[in-house]
Amino acid sequence: MRYFIELSYKGTNYHGWQIQPNALTIQEILQKALSALLKNETEIIGAGRTDTGVHASYYIAHFDSDSEIDINKTAYSLNKMVPYDIAINRIFQVKDEAHSRFSAISRTYKYYITLKKNPFTLETQTYIWGKLDVDLMNKACEILFQHIDFTSFSKLHTDTVTNNCSIIQAYWENGNNELIFTIKADRFLRNMVRAVVGTMLEVGRGKITLSDFNSIITSKNRSNAGVSAPAQGLFLYYIEYPSTIYI
């Protein structure tokens, strides 16, 4: 039987989701805890990678079990076994063909910026000093919808077959000394959101024009885009799945 784990984590202390040698990751901690709990070596497959220091307010992983488990008891026990910065929200059974990564039809990320230095959000927001033209940054969002190839915002030398993505939503919200960028797409490239944010900040500062922003995308050259925004402001916010995978 296949189960989905819905979890949240603060990525500050971790080198992202995916297991890697000589680095602490979410997947490694969760996999060890679940294997110990079920008394069986259990592989956990995640919805995708998150970079070092990036957070997830909503994340999905799946695992298989030969026998039915008590989902509430397992979620409760797993929460006691993992560190304070990882939270198991629920476990639920899905159809056998459901896949946490490949069944997803969209993902939503949010990037949080504070315009006022705040010692209490140093690890979950990025502090930006100076004024930003948010209206101009929202006009840059509109340019994203005109393109599908986002090579200019992709980490170099990845193993992806295509750099095409369909942007569904992209907008900036201006709050009380806070900016929030929301972007939703059918898929994302590695480091894409942080590269988009970093380049849009250049638009907001008046360092590049909207025409420059468009040219950066059409150039399909990562070196033309801005520096990636810091990891601590980025959250994987939601993952959407088709209703057909649920039981």
C-beta atoms surrounding 176 within 10 Å = 7
Place of tokens 């810091």: 230
Task: Return the C-alpha torsion angle 93, 72, 236, 122, nearest 10.
Answer: -170
- Beta carbons of 168 and 106 less than 8 angstroms apart: yes
- Beta carbons of 63 and 3 less than 8 angstroms apart: yes
If you count DSSP H runs as helices and E runs as strands, how many of each does the chain have, helices first?
5, 9
Q: Does the annotation count 85 as an active-site position? A: no
- 243 CB-near residues (< 8 Å, 6+ apart): none
The amino acid occupying position 99 is: H
| Cα separation, 41 vs 35, whole angstroms | 5
Catalytic residue among 51, 64, 96, 135: 51
Q: Residues with catalytic annotation? A: 51
